[in-house]
Structure 1
Amino acid sequence: MPKEKILFLINPISGTKKKDNLAEQILKLLDHSRYEAEIHVTRFRGDATGIVPIKMAEGYNKFVAVGGDGTVNEIAKALVDSEGILGIIPIGSGNGLARHLRIPINIEKAMKLINRGNVEAIDYGRINGSPFFCTCGVGFDAHIGNEFAKNKGRGFLTYIKVTISDFFNYKPKKYKLKIDKIGKLKTRAFLITVANASQYGNNAYISPKADIQDGRLDICILSPFRLYRAPGIGIRLFAKKIDKSSLMHTEQAQQIVLKRKKAGVVHYDGEPCEMGKKIKIKIVPKGLKVILP
């Protein structure tokens, strides 16, 4: 029986840990009786997205993202609606998708999943045509994602510092939403997150009940709030109880159209991006094959 061809794509700047000997560690843990492997260290943003179709043409069918949610997005968007299969070794700052899918953060345990090779199909979303797999949205979290990307520091502590420093200056915005089967909605929001998976990363659960295989997106609208309520919101976020807050309104849909007064930053899978006044978001059911526990 021929071996499966598997490509590991390592993002050398993901997360905060040193990556010395990471490639050697992966090859040592890999089941070579099952796989014929190659390792590629990405050199620039978008590198992985370009390599995947080339390697698919060479007979590779499994592609392992060794990085964070941004790395996962780069590889996964080249695999959607194909026979290619995504694997994840999470070494990023947040690892939101991996945590939702219960893929171990520990490299040895993550490699055991790769060797076992259990594959299932999951949903993914599109925001103005661009694929996302975890969350996307506008408002404060998009603003923070943009500021975090500019910061030289990485990791969870840097993210918290940026969040606290920018909280006092951020002004909530007005939005118009058109949600299928529900209708039109006008709102002033601190943030609006559309969730395919349950969390941003680091076990910060913006949509605790989100199901990545139900064919629906969760629309999470957090109303503006006063400073004294911020600690409680933070606690609920990490305790999987933000959906119980009186400030949070949640709906489910397959398609959403969001309008705002000005073009500006959005986020998807932790990466900031500039988009226009009108934003279209939709779910693609079971469009990505992933190695899961």
Structure 2
Amino acid sequence: MERLTEVEKEKILFIINPISGIRPKGNVEKNILKYLDNVKYRAEFHVTTCKGDATAAVQAKLAEGYTKFVAVGGDGTVNEVASAIVGTEATLGIIPTGSGNGLARHLRIPLNLKRAMAIINCGAADRIDYGMVNKIPFFCTCGVGFDAQIGYRFASNGKRGFFNYIKIVISDFLRYKSKKYKLKIDGDGKFKIRAFLITVANSSQYGNNAYIAPLADIRDGKLNLSIISPFKIFEAPVIGIRLFTKRIDKSTMEHSGAISKVVIKRKHKDVVHYDGEPIIMGKKLKISVVPRGLRVIVPATKERIKHPFASRHEP
């Protein structure tokens, strides 16, 4: 078999966020080249410099005919890259180097660079769903309430890492007051609630194995709505344990279900989070699913991502 020339090889653009996560990354480009199948692929690199830079870089390469883009970063970087290619035949790859890595974890993409590169080389291209919140795509979760406030505080804090995140959670929890919302689900009747948080999930977790929607299926054409009601401070440890043991759906404080769309209204504009990124939005939020709208490289056995916890339901 003749080797492909450099011109004949498929070009992959690796979009690297140099400040994602907290772990030292070393020479990422060198390691990617070390583990890339250089017989089939030719790598190019773009190192991001600011918010929105990844999306712009991908859009420019799309116009040049590139069809494969690998996000090297966390869920925010994945969001920027994926947002540029939704609805196209281009394919997303992920090398997770962020703090939470929610989408990568759901898709069973390893956090180890060498193993993640093996999936880039030999994985299968599959189509997954994604969500829209007021015309902004999200691929893991979006929501309002306590988790959105924490996301805003975490982004403003300037310090990354799981333990700093937990510190902010504990500090804000002691003074947070649940808020009132009006919901309209799948175009049906409206109802009012007071909630600690409302999360609309495409994937099963926020990241860091915090499972807000344990039954979420990223390929079923649905989103999962999760509402956590106000609760007493002494109930918080149990809810936290359930969140990290994939059993939040068993809590009497949590109400959930599969939906296609939801409208959330609140008293005034406030923070919303999408894929860990906080943003101020207006009083009305329109959230909906886009079925199978993104091509992504996943482990070759598709059954592993259809339902990450399928074994829980086996006899």
Corresponding residue for residue 74 of structure 2: 68
SS of 1:290 mapped into structure 2: strand
Residue 117 of structure 1 and its aligned partner are, at CA, apart by: 3.7
Instruction: For 1:127 and 1:181, locate their aligned partners in 2 and report how far apart those are by CA, in whole Å.
Output: 16
Equivalent residue in structure 2 for 1:210, among 216, 223, 227: 216
| Alignment partner of 2:34 out of 24, 28, 34 | 28
Matching residue's letter, 1:276? G
- Hey, what does 2:22 align to over in structure 1? 16
The residue identity in structure 1 corresponding to 2:9 is K
- SS state at 1:77 partner: helix
Counterparts of 2:155 and 2:215 in 1: how far apart (Å)?
28
User: Match for residue 263 of structure 2?
Assistant: 257
**Counterpart residue number, 2:292:** 286
What are the ranges of 5 or more consecutive residues in structure 2 without an aligned counterpart? 300-315
Letter in 2 for 1:13: I
| TM-score scaled by length of structure 1 | 0.98
The CA deviation string for residues 119-140 of structure 1, in whole angstroms up to 9 with x for no partner, is 0000000000000000000000
The answer to whether the aligner puts 1:58 opposite 2:78 as a matched pair is no
Q: Distance in 2 between matches of 1:207 and 1:54?
A: 35
Say whether residues 1:156 and 2:156 are aligned partners: no
Q: Please give the alpha-carbon distance, in whole angstroms, between the structure 2 residues aligned to 1:248 and 1:55.
A: 43
**Shift in Å at residue 183 of structure 1?**
2.7
Q: Which letter does structure 2 place at the counterpart of 1:206?
A: I
Cα distance in 1 for partners of 2:289, 2:188 equals 16
Secondary structure of the equivalent of 2:236? helix
Confirm whether residue 79 of structure 1 aligns to residue 95 of structure 2. no
Contact 1:194/1:217, CA 8 A, preserved across alignment = yes
Residues 180-205 of structure 1 show CA distances to partners (whole Å, capped at 9, x for unaligned) of 16532210000000000000000000
**Aligned-residue RMSD, C-alpha:** 0.9
- 1:1-293 matches, cutoff 5 A: 2-180=8-186, 182-293=188-299
Q: Deviations over 1:83-109 (max 9, x none)?
A: 111000000000000001110111110
CA contact (8 A) 1:200 1:270 kept: yes
- Unaligned runs of 5+ residues in structure 1 are none
Tell me by how many angstroms 1:59 deviates: 2.3
User: 2:197 is matched by which residue type in structure 1?
Assistant: L
Q: Is the 8 A contact 2:129 2:218 kept in 1?
A: yes
* Amino acid aligned to 2:255: H
* CA positional deviation for 1:69: 0.3
Q: Which runs of 4+ in 1 moved over 4 A?
A: none
Does structure 2 retain, via aligned residues, the 8 Å contact 1:73–1:269? Answer: yes
Partners of 2:39 and 2:291 lie apart in 1 by 33
The count of corresponding residues between Structure 1 and Structure 2 is: 293
Alpha-carbon separation, structure 1, partners of 2:126 and 2:279: 29
Contact 1:85/1:290 (CA < 8 Å) preserved in 2?
yes
CA contact (8 A) 2:90 2:295 kept: yes
TM-superposed CA distance for 1:177, in Å, is: 0.3
Q: Distance in 1 between matches of 2:65 and 2:221?
A: 30
Contact 2:187 2:262 in 1 (8 A): no
What SS class does the counterpart of residue 78 from structure 1 fall into? helix
Asked if structure 2 preserves the Cα contact closer than 8 Å seen for 1:86 and 1:291, the reply is yes
Name the amino acid aligned to 1:121. Answer: R
C-alpha separation in 2, matches of 1:169 and 1:262: 20
Identity, in percent, stands at 65
Partner deviation per Cα, 1:121-179 (whole Å, 9 max, x = no partner):
00000000000000000000000000000112111111100000110111100000000
Q: How far apart are the structure 1 equivalents of 2:167 and 2:130?
A: 30
CA distance in 1, matches of 2:60, 2:193: 45
For each residue in 1:196-221, what CA deviation from the matched residue of structure 2 results, as whole angstroms up to 9, or x when unmatched?
Answer: 00000000000000000000111100
Offset of residue 57 of structure 1: 1.9
